[in-house]
Structure 1
Amino acid sequence: MAEVRIALGGISLSYHLPRVLVFALNGFTEEFLFRGALQTRLALLTGDGWGLVLTSLIFGVMHVGAAAALLGGDFLAGMALCVASHAPAGLLFGLTALRTRSLISPTVAHIALNLASVAWPGA
């Protein structure tokens, strides 16, 4: 894990700190926009279920650019990756927001998931 590599001198804290801050801010911002604004508005138009599904799909599609870049520019593979990974994460964040009627829980979960990607070996 990253903590072990930092402790052993393999990675400096100055390398990870900016990433941690950006990922935490990103998690807060995305939850505010997707669950706080988009999902609530779509739910008013289509009902809670469809609002959740549509917001989750849009959340996944929004990440296509980064996924395609990771896959050598392959847009279709990036879309498949996002629908298979980011959309289900958005679905879970959205369900959490619906159940708690708050953005705190999905924001904490989103930030934790983002921070886990920092600590993942090779990140």
Structure 2
Amino acid sequence: MNIQLISEYATTYGLKIILAIVIFFIGKIAAKWLKKLIGKLTARGNVDQTLSNFLGDLTYILAMIIVIIIALNNLGVKTTSLIAVLGAATLAIGLSLQSNLANLGSGILLLFNRPFKVGDYVEAAG
């Protein structure tokens, strides 16, 4: 009876697990490709290397989050509640780190405005 139950579960969930793994690996390859594409586009546009790396990494992370959610949805996990919890956690973390996020925003603005480049020396406070 145990063998029959195991084979029943294997046929029911085995294909879903294999498909979720395939989705994950194809999505990971696509996310890496997208990161390289962002790097090439920013290099063509003469964008600063620091900003180029930042945009590439941000794109990769966002793409991987989407891929993981799609793979979990394929497995049968209710992703709507997962996304709601992720949104609430992001809001809570954002509110608790307001001053740090303001500094992060300032740093991103510095990257976009590029008042200085890699290799420049900055003198502060005398």
Bucket of the pairwise TM-score, normalised by the shorter protein: 0.3 to 0.5
Structure 1 or 2, whichever has the larger Rg, is: 2
Q: Report the TM-score, using the length of structure 1 for normalisation.
A: 0.41
TM-score, length of structure 2 as denominator length: 0.40
